[in-house]
Amino acid sequence: MNDTTAKRLPVPLHYLLMADVLHMSLVAIVLCLVLFTGTEVPFTLQLVITALVMVVMLRGGSWLVLGAMQVSMYFYESRAGSARLDLPIIVNAVLCLAMIAYAAGFRSIRSLLREWIGRLLYLLMIDPPKPGEQNVLASLDARRDHIESWTMLREQSLMVIIRAARLLAIVLAASIVFLQLPITRPAITAWWQRSVADGNQLWPGPTGFILAIVCLLVISIGSWRRLSELQARLYLKSDYVREHFRELRSVLVRGGYLSERPMVMQPAKPAKTVREK
Amino acid sequence: MLWFREIAGWLLVVGALYILRTAFILVTNLETPRVIEAAVLVVAGLGVLKGGLALVRIATAARIVKQASN
């Protein structure tokens, strides 16, 4: 998306707020469904817990989502039994994974969806400018802005679709990996027999773990290679200072630029009070 | 020089993975699992992995800056 176009065609604030409220309401409903499906927790308590999780997520912490999911799945699994894999259990597991993946990328997803829903609402609610309403130049300008807004909405829609596809791919991959785990009695027996047959090494064995670490490393280094020049410079400078901190400090102390006292935070001086007569 | 650093970093990463694999082999052996030896190897492997990754990251960042300067 072009930044200059985005600055020239901003969505009004109340549309962004409306979009945020819609988005957060939908997420809260899904979260409540995922956390409390089939439980007998009172509705008020469900609302309080969901609100607490949402507040922590809004303040940038996804740890509570993860913890709440684990507690919920622990009770759900113990109720539903782990010996069968029917549709409700699979749907619940997929929703849990999707919610965890969503919480991990919450900030970027939120800003993207806020802009997209806000622009959609804005364009749906305003009337398109008609030719000849005001003077010709103003009318043409308004029509051009309107067309550019729709173009931006199309670009944002594409980004939302790509993001949703990525989320779906992550959930599918995680589901496939988790389905390989021996969670039923026959699967546990087969896993044990396979491990014994494979030279007494527990399956998937060391090679499987190492391949998982390699995948993580490739993803990590791949994202590192997309640093901007400014970020790369900042990293190099901070690394240089960290590595050579003692040498730099001794040079500065010898040159008289720093005192030899240890660098300890001094407490702030109390403010001067008004002298009483 | 930057390529040398990056290659050295990747070699360290490969070495660290080999050490970690050895540790996993020790600990997942059903007959005689050797947890203490595996723990020592895991600590060593993670140290080597950290060093290797640091080299790769610095080399990558330096290359990005160099390319931007040119």
Paired residues of B29 in beta bridges: A201
User: B21 vs A229: CB contact, 8 Å cut-off?
Assistant: no
Contacts of A214 in chain B (CB under 8 A): 17
| A24 three-class SS | helix
Q: Are A119 and A156 in contact (CB under 8 A)?
A: yes
Q: Which helix (H) or strand (E) holds A70?
A: helix A63-80
Distance in angstroms (rounded) separating the CA atoms of residues A202 and A191: 8
How do residues B7-57 score in pLDDT, each as one tens digit? 999 999 999 999 998 998 888 777 778 888 889 999 999 999 999 999 999
Distance in angstroms (rounded) separating the CA atoms of residues B21 and B32: 16
| A272 three-class SS | coil
Q: Are A209 and B35 in contact (CB under 8 A)?
A: no
How do residues A54-89 score in pLDDT, each as one tens digit? 888 888 777 888 888 888 877 776 665 555 667 777
pTM above 0.80, yes or no: no
User: B30 vs A195: CB contact, 8 Å cut-off?
Assistant: yes
pLDDT for position A275: 46
pLDDT for position B46: 93
- Chain B contact for A26 (CB, 8 A cutoff): no
User: B21 vs A224: CB contact, 8 Å cut-off?
Assistant: no
Determine which of A195, A196, A215, A217 to mutate to test the interface with B (most B C-beta atoms within 10 Å).
Answer: A217
| Long-range interactions of A248-255: CB distance < 8 A, separation 24+ | none
Chain B, 1 to 60: residues with Cβ < 8 Å from chain A are 13, 17, 20-22, 24-25, 28-31, 53-54, 56-58, 60
Q: What share of chain B is helix, strand, coil (3-state, %, to 5)?
A: 85, 0, 10
pLDDT for position A131: 60
Burial A93-114 (b: 16+ CB within 10 A, else e): bbbbbbbbbbbeebeebbeebb
pLDDT for position A78: 65
**Spans of chain A below 70 pLDDT:** 1-9, 77-85, 127-138, 201, 203, 258-277
Q: Which of A120, A105, A164 is nearest to A19 (CA)?
A: A120
Contacts of B61 in chain A (CB under 8 A): 227, 231-233, 235-236
Residue A69, both tokens: 């999911």
Q: How many CB pairs under 8 A join A and B?
A: 66
User: B60 vs A225: CB contact, 8 Å cut-off?
Assistant: yes
pLDDT for position A94: 81
This model of the complex carries an ipTM of: 0.83
Query: In a 10 Å sphere around its CB, with 0-12 CB exposed, 13-18 middle and 19+ buried, how is residue B52 labelled?
Result: buried
Which residue's structure tokens are 């690394």? A239
pLDDT for position A258: 67
pLDDT for position A1: 47
